[in-house]
Structure 1
Amino acid sequence: MARPMNPLPDSGPQDKLVVFAADLRALRTKAGKPTLAEMARRTGASVAALSNAHSGRRLPRWQTVENYVRACGAESSGWRSRWDSVQLAQRIAHAQDGHAPLMKRWASTRQLTPPQWARTGADLARALDQMRHFRGLSLRGLARRTPGFSHHTYGAVLRGDRPVTADVLLAILHSCGVQPDETRRWMQALARVRPAEELRVRTLLSRLPEPRMRALHMPHGGRGNPMRP
């Protein structure tokens, strides 16, 4: 028989993490309350990871949630969007430099457009760094998705130690999965705040006809850097 689960943390009904954990617990109950050891044997996940998944104290990794749901005999597909929603809410809650409103706008509109307050290259760099966090990407994650630049280069640009260039901007947008029309807005914003990059912006955009733009923004996992000349 499964041991009684520890109480969930005290929270309001809007705490997505606690609600998510409560729903995982309900799923386990519906499955007949298998023990964590049984669930671990079914999936290969550790007992500790499965226990933490329904603790409501920290968002578990998606793989752990997937194992938990499968161990309860349910399909995991419907849970992915819910897990994404909790993760996004946490990123917004921990947004720095007062940019939480920007991230909320991106989340609500589903459009990663540049903010109107980006009037300098430094502003643009800060907004790009917020987008990186919004997408849950590390600097190394950016570099893996668009190998044309190193994580050191991305870090220097996003910290403001190096200016934002059209090539680096396009690479970051690609890594973050920004759509073609939104990409053009970011590139145009760069041309406004850094007139020296205007010619390069025009050149890059002229080399990106619609079919190529779609290929450029395919789901993650593509190789190479098609933005480089």
Structure 2
Amino acid sequence: MARPPKEVCTDNPYLHEFASELRALKSKAGDPPYRVMASKSGVSITSLSQAASGRVLPTWRTTAAFVRAARVSEAKWRAKWESLNREMRAPVAREHDDDGSTLPLNPAQRRIASWPAVWERWTRTELITPSHRAESELDLILAMRSLKEFRSLSLRDIAGIALYSHSAFGAALNGQRTVTPRLLVAFLKGCNVHTFGEHQAWLDLLSRAVPEQREKAEREMRTQHRTFR
């Protein structure tokens, strides 16, 4: 059985605010003891207590235990939890060496450093489309990684919805397996990206990033066109 994602200890004002809101949910539910919440949710008493303390970044499974106890909108809280995760994990734009001097980033690092701006656009427009032109397959892979992080999903989460295994997605995101149109579309669906325009934008990125997949990508685009009509 797969282990749940590890909860990360940290100290952040956004995290403390989130914990306060979790405590309010517990209160709304009638302030049940943690042992009761644990028995109903399958989440440990320790995880529930730590999440409410503001000392750890809780997993969605732990957060959902509070949400379900209070019988409030899971979709709203999932979005709130994803936003907190992005805030806590947003990459920095510069790196420093031991004496504090700034080091220039390579192209891949610059792509990663741009993620927060892309995530802000996705949140604002609710359109999950890649933001840059692809010069190589690495650009496509980084865009897919950015989407995975934006959704705060594990590969197993994505595989649970899509038709590929988590190991297949992992190999693609590590550059050990070519990203095909079918794998990309499955990945998008697993990341809750479903509209015609979004799929077309990602398939177009694939056709430019991996020229040998262009013909297959164009066929998939025609299939998508018939599917969404």
Q: Residue 179 of structure 2 aligns to which amino acid in structure 1?
A: V
Distance 1:88 1:47 in 2: 25
Counterparts of 1:1-229 in structure 2 under 5 Å?
11-12=12-13, 15=14, 17-28=15-26, 35-36=33-34, 46-68=44-66, 74-77=70-73, 80-96=75-91, 97-98=112-113, 99-147=115-163, 149-178=164-193, 179-209=195-225, 212-213=227-228
1:113 is displaced (CA, Å) by 0.4
Deviation larger for 27-36 or 98-107: 27-36
Distance 1:37 1:152 in 2: 35
Q: Using the aligned pairs only, state the percent identity.
A: 35
Q: Would the alpha carbon gap of residues 189 and 20 (structure 1) be closer, same or farther in structure 2, given more than 3 Å must change? A: same
Q: Which runs of 5+ in 2 are unaligned?
A: 1-9, 92-111
Q: Residue 72 of structure 2 aligns to which amino acid in structure 1?
A: S
1:131 is displaced (CA, Å) by 0.9
TM-score by length of 2: 0.68
Partners of 2:82 and 2:150 within 8 A in 1: no
Tell which structure's C-alpha radius of gyration is larger: 1
The number of aligned residues is 198
Partners of 1:156 and 1:162 within 8 A in 2: yes
1:142-182: CA deviation from partner (whole Å, max 9, x where unpaired): 333222x3333322221223333222222212221212211
1:64 is displaced (CA, Å) by 4.1
Q: Residue 187 of structure 1 aligns to which amino acid in structure 2?
A: L
Give the SS at the match of 1:113: coil
Q: Would the alpha carbon gap of residues 69 and 161 (structure 1) be closer, same or farther in structure 2, given more than 3 Å must change? A: closer
Q: Which runs of 5+ in 1 are unaligned?
A: 1-8, 215-229
